[in-house]
Structure 1
Amino acid sequence: EGKESWLQKFFNGFNAKYDALAGKYSNVLKTIANRKVVTYGSLVLFFGLTYGMLAVTPTGFIPNEDQGMIYVNVTTPPGATVDRTSEIMDQVQAALLPLEEVETVSTLAGYSLLTETAGASYGMGMINLASWGEREKGVDELMLDYSERTSHIKGADIQFLAPPPVPGFGNASGFELRLQDRSGGTLDNMALVNEEFIAALNERPEIEGAFTNFDPTFPQFLLSVDHDKAAKLGISVDYAMETLQSYIGSYYASNFIRYGQMYKVMIQASPEYRTSPESLLDMYAKNKDGEMVPYSNFVSLERVYGPEQLTRYNMFNSALISGDAAPGYSSGDAIKAVEEVALETLPRGFDIDWSGITREQIASGNQAVYIFLICLVFVYLLLAAQYESYMLPLPVILSLPAGIFGSYFFLNLVGLQNDIYAQVSLVMLIGLLGKNAILIIEIAIQNRAKGLSILQSAINGGVERLRPILMTSFAFICGLIPLTIASGAGAIGNRTIGTAAAGGMLIGTIIGVFLIPGLYVVFETIDTRLKEKKAKRLQINTQTQEVHA
């Protein structure tokens, strides 16, 4: 005989170790597979553990990923000019551009990122970051750094926000809700309630940085038209207001082409005639007789204060409130905290309603549970048809709680949330762990058909299928390791899917190879007794028919 190679020695040693493991595994099955107390106790234990882990695992919807961009929202005091807001934006840009991880900073004065409205006291910016491999910190850490770096800028409220997880669902990450005044009260009262509500929110440990742009103290002018005087002067109020709009705000009239370029014709009063709000009283409107009538003859101005934009939500006056979950808390924790604060602090006639991606998270509710149950029903029906038994599919179904417990346990261990990615992994585990159970039960059924006892059939099924189960399961787990340590774009989603699937597969496989044979013994025993009773009834019915014949 030739000398064995090192590879052959390795395989021989591996097979010897595996045979010893399979022998010990067989001895364990002989001890526990026929003990219903162990089987039932294991089921109750893992059902309880799964429920407990589900209760303590933070809930979420779609995680906030590092998208390589940070939004800047700037709010200057009411009445500030665009030039002042632009100056603040330039200071923000100058403070951030020298940083290595910042590639570009784009700013825009006169526009609110959160409310998507134009206003002189609003400003927004977009910070494009270097690629993930070229910077050491993530978006959350950088937003804290940038807040400290711009804290010296006075005269403005500056917030740094991550983009929304899904474009179109909100304008920034975190939660978004509307405070609604359903009592029809004054805007000043609404502002007071809004201020107290936000203060209460920021006192909760689950919530970080709740704020609003609702401010009823913007200086404004109320234009009052005396319709009786206008009628006596022969003035059409609609025509007069259109003319005034053209004087003050400009009006698009036509186009013309010159030197191959098209230009717009805009009608507007010359700047020297609109230097102050009172200037419009010196402007003229034409009456029905073609005479020019000063606006001061039928229009009066009054200086008032109010919100720059009044928004309605579900037909009620509303204020947009934004915020985020504090470190260590999930979006589900923040939603629960907001609802508790609303119940405790909001006076009668005020209520909240969710918007953006937070509304989708609440609307989705327990849909994942129903999807999971539907998958289990389909698996049960398919296996019942395959095995021609309503009992034998149950070991496959009841072996799953151990894997679900493993998913939630590892999610908690690494600090991830039970979000949509984790729920996808749970649906995937139904097939992966169900496959392990099917392998054992299929061999057990074949051995049972050969006349072996229920216990011996279960032991043979477990021992014969132990190698392929361990091989496929651990190969799958090893394939998920890159996902569990992912970084860069989509890192949180990848880590959640990988951790939930790998943890569920690991615990489900280790527990399943011992639990499934015991479950087979329990339900095969029940199925055999039911078949025996059915056979006896048929035999009695046959004998009765023969006697009557």
Structure 2
Amino acid sequence: MVNFFIERPIFAASVAIIMVLAGLICYPLLPVAQFPEVTPPLVVVSATYPGASAQVVADTVTTPLEQQINGVPGMIYMSSTSANDGSSNITVSFDVGYPIDIAAVDVQNRVSAATAQLPAIVNQGGVTVQKKNPNLTLAVNLYSPDGSVDLVTLSNYAYLQLVDPLKRITGVGDVQIFGERRYSMRVWLDPDKLAKLGVTAVDVQNAIAEQNIQVAAGKIGGSPAPAGTMFTAQVNAMGRLSDPQQFDDIVIRAGTGSEATLRLRDVGRTELGALQYTSSAKINDKPTVFVAVLPLPGSNALAMDQAVRAKMAELAKSFPKGISYGIAYDTTMFVSASMHDVLVTLVEALLLVIGVVFLFLQSWRTTVIPAIAIPVSLIATLAVMMALGFSLNTVSMLGLVLAIGLVVDDAIVVVENVERQLENGLAPLAAAKAAMREVTGPIIATTAVLAAVFVPVAFLPGVTGRLYNQFALTIAISVAISAFNSLTLSPALCAVMLRHREPSRFILFRAFNAGFSRMMHAYANAIRHLIGVRWLVLAVFAVGLALTYGLYTRVPTGFLPVEDQGYFFAVAQLPDGASLERTETVAEKIRSILAAEDGVRDVVSVSGLNFLTSANQSNALATFAVLKPWSERGGLTASQIVAQVRPKLLAIPAAVALSFDPPAIPGIAATGGFEFQVEDLDGRGAQALNDATQALLIEARKQPELNAQQLFSTFTTSTPQYNYDLDRTKAKLLGLNLQDVFNTLQIYLGSLYVNDFNLFGRTFHVTIQADQAARADATDISRLYVRNSNGGMVPLSTLGQLRPTVGPEFVPHYNLYGSARINGVAAPGYSSGQAI
């Protein structure tokens, strides 16, 4: 086969050109990312039980869903969070590489089987199943520079005008809004007026459900119609209402004679408000909506980033007055910088290799042949990477950098052997054939040896194996292509380009050759002496192996080193039960501390969000500090800034505030460091779990490998709560329906989703709840009434009492068991492996 290509150099060149063209065509199609896809595919199941406590949500919503989902094909583990805002979020993690679409369908089928066990109001609100990419690529901040646009309007402008166009961009998997306040028709009830007029909250619910309903009125003259009917006309009737005034006119009780008709406006007020007021976001002290853009798995992050920026610039042209946007959070900047550094290294390595080859071969003719082999092998490798589903990332690109020194070896062997045959007096064509008869076997053998070194790495299990899979196979592929070139293109070029030549007379080459010759003689003499004491050499070698093993076992271990990615996190938690207003005050202090640091450009905070659990929590907040470009920081790194702000955050009173580097691989964890789950395998309850977790933390903080100040758990069971102890016997004696009692509590204190209304071409919820002043204190329960079977109004305070207690703010599960998450970082001077 080799002689076939030697005798047909044009054909050999054509094959090489085809490989290069294939690589060049595939290059722009390859996804660009920081790392290979190593994060497990995630499917998230979400549901809401308005007004329910975390424990009630866990018992009635999360647990039935988890029991059905458990064991779905491909699942490796499952975690969930049930929160006091009534939300239930279940995250199902699948094997790395498992098809995410199939996973989502399987989970959806399991969820459908569980819906019959869920409360009716949960099914009414819907149970959603979504594919999730935990890698947040960039976020758009929508804000009002002059403060003329409120947060509700900003949030809904983002929902109506930004989310859908951004979702249609190639590579975008999902768009989420942090600090969202989606429209809802909020009906705020006055319990005093309701009680005075003999009306209950359930009456209001029924009136809205009856009078705000979509009507299909039919058609006049529709088929079948009498003979001679000339026209048809659709009949429309206003059933579903659309503005607060129409809702205010809803009739609760019709009046006749002297009794006036009772309307909704008589017992409360209606406004176009927000569905939830559980969180708020700010950027540099300006209210903002945080529109997070998450990529599809395997998409080109850089291309998606550019497309999002272009789309936002286009959409901004139609922004109303008082609305502007910015892109503060953008992880692709680090990806771009990393890829730029790798490309620079690639070029430097290429030039160094060519320079070294020229220094030793000392002829441009002999240098060109191995120099051609390098780009042919590397570029052709891109085509195979595309076929295997690889991406251009720092790991695969470093594999190409390392391959530069390997792919040139075979071509050098061919060139040197052909030159030796030329020195023996053979013609170029004959010399090429004679040389290849000698080196074809060794080239194949060395390629097989290199493949045997790198290919097994691709089969390592787990995240580590997935991380280095592309690295190993990229090198193996490039070396295999290099071997093919050395058997086809390189000998053909040798036959065409090489000629017999005399030793170079250039003074630098002569000096180099003389020095290299002396070094070779010294090396040969040293080898001869060592052969005479070979047992001593073997003993030294054995000692070296023992020392290597001993040092290997003592070197600190870790997953990946911490890198300066251009941003870091800060989280804070206030005392249990703290209001959102108090949390926003702490958020303001944190923003001022971070903004004052050199190197910090923007600070985005989300109050009411537990960043580690993704649960809405009034006493928690998450902060993103976006740093200036690396060139503008004067050598200051993200880790240094994190260390500088850490004591300042810890000094904030009435809150525990901590700062973290981002995780080494986005999506592997919420923050840098490590994470553990403490599980309640025996079902002893939240208090026992909390006691065990705190005991573990106390002992762990004594370990020198752990940073005691950064070791914590967000799980707590001391959130202030009330138990309403209903006297059921008394309620039945008074002729009460217990369901009416519980519905009254939910409507007044927790809110109730009644039905929907249309606005701006979208569907939004109608929600009823007691006005703010009627649920600000525990004594307000005396203002709540329910009607008995005789038509009398009975206050809830006579049926039971509110008893102060404590409980969990949220109930986490891990693989169906109650769990508590522990987060921490290694102490200075220790690795994450030692800490774990």
Instruction: Give the TM-score of the pair, scaled to structure 2.
Output: 0.41
CA deviation after TM superposition for structure 1 residue 476, in Å: 3.4
- SS of match in other structure, 1:64: coil
Which of 31, 37, 54 aligns to 2:27? It is 54
Q: Which residue of 1 aligns with 2:308?
A: 338
Structure 1 residue 96 and structure 2 residue 70: aligned?
Answer: no
CA deviation after TM superposition for structure 1 residue 399, in Å: 0.8
Contact kept? 1:161, 1:173, Cα under 8 Å: no
Contact kept? 1:324, 1:331, Cα under 8 Å: no
Counterpart mapping for 1:10-409 below 5 A: 24-26=1-3, 28-29=5-6, 31-33=7-9, 45-67=18-40, 70=42, 72=44, 76=48, 81=51, 83=53, 87=57, 91-98=61-68, 99-100=70-71, 105-110=78-83, 120=85, 141-147=102-108, 149-150=110-111, 152=115, 153-154=122-123, 155=125, 172-173=134-135, 175-181=137-143, 183-184=145-146, 186=149, 187-195=151-159, 196-204=161-169, 206-216=171-181, 308-313=278-283, 317-326=287-296, 329-347=299-317, 350-353=324-327, 355=329, 357-409=331-383
Which amino acid is the alignment partner of residue 100 of structure 1? G
Contact kept? 1:406, 1:508, Cα under 8 Å: no
CA deviation after TM superposition for structure 1 residue 393, in Å: 2.8
Which of 504, 520, 524 aligns to 2:478? It is 504
Higher mean alpha-carbon deviation, 447-456 vs 55-64, is at 447-456
Change (3 A) 1:106 1:520: same
Instruction: For residues 272-307 of structure 1, give each alpha carbon's deviation from its aligned partner in whole angstroms, at most 9, with x where no partner exists.
Output: xxxxxxxxxxxxxxxxxxxxxxxxxxxxxxx99796
Change (3 A) 1:455 1:494: same
Change (3 A) 1:496 1:353: same
Which amino acid is the alignment partner of residue 471 of structure 1? A
Counterpart mapping for 1:345-494 below 5 A: 345-347=315-317, 350-353=324-327, 355=329, 357-477=331-451, 482=456, 488-490=462-464, 492-494=466-468
- SS of match in other structure, 1:65: coil
Instruction: Work out the CA distance in 1 between the residues paired with 2:483 and 2:158.
Output: 53
Instruction: For residues 473-514 of structure 1, give each alpha carbon's deviation from its aligned partner in whole angstroms, at most 9, with x where no partner exists.
Output: 134346655556676444543443344334333333223322
Q: Where is the helix percentage greater, Structure 1 or Structure 2?
A: 1
Instruction: Work out the CA distance in 2 between the residues paired with 1:489 and 1:432.
Output: 27
Instruction: Work out the CA distance in 2 between the residues paired with 1:361 and 1:327.
Output: 16
Instruction: Work out the CA distance in 2 between the residues paired with 1:357 and 1:89.
Output: 38
CA deviation after TM superposition for structure 1 residue 47, in Å: 4.0
Higher mean alpha-carbon deviation, 449-458 vs 461-470, is at 449-458
Contact kept? 1:60, 1:332, Cα under 8 Å: yes
CA deviation after TM superposition for structure 1 residue 430, in Å: 1.4
Which amino acid is the alignment partner of residue 191 of structure 1? S
Instruction: Give the TM-score of the pair, scaled to structure 1.
Output: 0.60
Which amino acid is the alignment partner of residue 57 of structure 1? L
CA deviation after TM superposition for structure 1 residue 149, in Å: 3.7
Instruction: For residues 320-353 of structure 1, give each alpha carbon's deviation from its aligned partner in whole angstroms, at most 9, with x where no partner exists.
Output: 3335444774444543443343233234564452
Instruction: Work out the CA distance in 2 between the residues paired with 1:86 and 1:121.
Output: 9
Change (3 A) 1:383 1:327: closer
Gaps of 5+ in 2: 116-121, 187-271, 508-836
Change (3 A) 1:96 1:358: farther
Q: Which residue of 2 aligns with 1:544?
A: none
Instruction: Work out the CA distance in 2 between the residues paired with 1:109 and 1:510.
Output: 59
CA deviation after TM superposition for structure 1 residue 375, in Å: 1.0
CA deviation after TM superposition for structure 1 residue 46, in Å: 4.4
CA deviation after TM superposition for structure 1 residue 371, in Å: 1.9
- SS of match in other structure, 1:58: coil
CA deviation after TM superposition for structure 1 residue 436, in Å: 0.8
Instruction: For residues 183-217 of structure 1, give each alpha carbon's deviation from its aligned partner in whole angstroms, at most 9, with x where no partner exists.
Output: 44523443244112111122345333322233236
Q: Which residue of 2 aligns with 1:225?
A: none
Number of aligned residue pairs: 402
- SS of match in other structure, 2:181: coil
Change (3 A) 1:66 1:329: closer
- SS of match in other structure, 1:463: helix
Which amino acid is the alignment partner of residue 83 of structure 1? S
Instruction: Work out the CA distance in 2 between the residues paired with 1:304 and 1:175.
Output: 31
Instruction: Work out the CA distance in 2 between the residues paired with 1:375 and 1:188.
Output: 55
Instruction: For residues 149-201 of structure 1, give each alpha carbon's deviation from its aligned partner in whole angstroms, at most 9, with x where no partner exists.
Output: 446454477566668xxxxxxxx235342334374452344324411211112
Change (3 A) 1:529 1:125: same
Q: Which residue of 1 aligns with 2:487?
A: 513
Contact kept? 1:180, 1:316, Cα under 8 Å: no
Contact kept? 2:143, 2:154, Cα under 8 Å: yes
- SS of match in other structure, 2:289: strand
Instruction: Work out the CA distance in 1 between the residues paired with 2:77 and 2:417.
Output: 63
Which amino acid is the alignment partner of residue 32 of structure 1? R
Instruction: For residues 362-390 of structure 1, give each alpha carbon's deviation from its aligned partner in whole angstroms, at most 9, with x where no partner exists.
Output: 44344332221111011112222222345
Instruction: Work out the CA distance in 1 between the residues paired with 2:86 and 2:334.
Output: 31
Change (3 A) 1:354 1:411: farther
Change (3 A) 1:96 1:141: farther
Instruction: Work out the CA distance in 2 between the residues paired with 1:146 and 1:524.
Output: 65
Contact kept? 1:180, 1:318, Cα under 8 Å: yes
Contact kept? 1:214, 1:320, Cα under 8 Å: yes
- SS of match in other structure, 1:178: strand
- SS of match in other structure, 1:399: helix
Change (3 A) 1:321 1:458: farther
Instruction: Work out the CA distance in 2 between the residues paired with 1:124 and 1:462.
Output: 65
Which amino acid is the alignment partner of residue 36 of structure 2? P
Change (3 A) 1:183 1:524: farther
Change (3 A) 1:63 1:42: closer
Instruction: Work out the CA distance in 1 between the residues paired with 2:30 and 2:79.
Output: 39
Contact kept? 1:483, 1:498, Cα under 8 Å: yes
- SS of match in other structure, 2:439: helix
Contact kept? 1:206, 1:329, Cα under 8 Å: yes
- SS of match in other structure, 1:467: helix
Change (3 A) 1:513 1:76: same
CA deviation after TM superposition for structure 1 residue 466, in Å: 1.0
Contact kept? 1:202, 1:210, Cα under 8 Å: yes
Instruction: Work out the CA distance in 2 between the residues paired with 1:407 and 1:399.
Output: 12
Contact kept? 1:484, 1:499, Cα under 8 Å: yes
- SS of match in other structure, 2:36: coil
Contact kept? 1:63, 1:492, Cα under 8 Å: yes
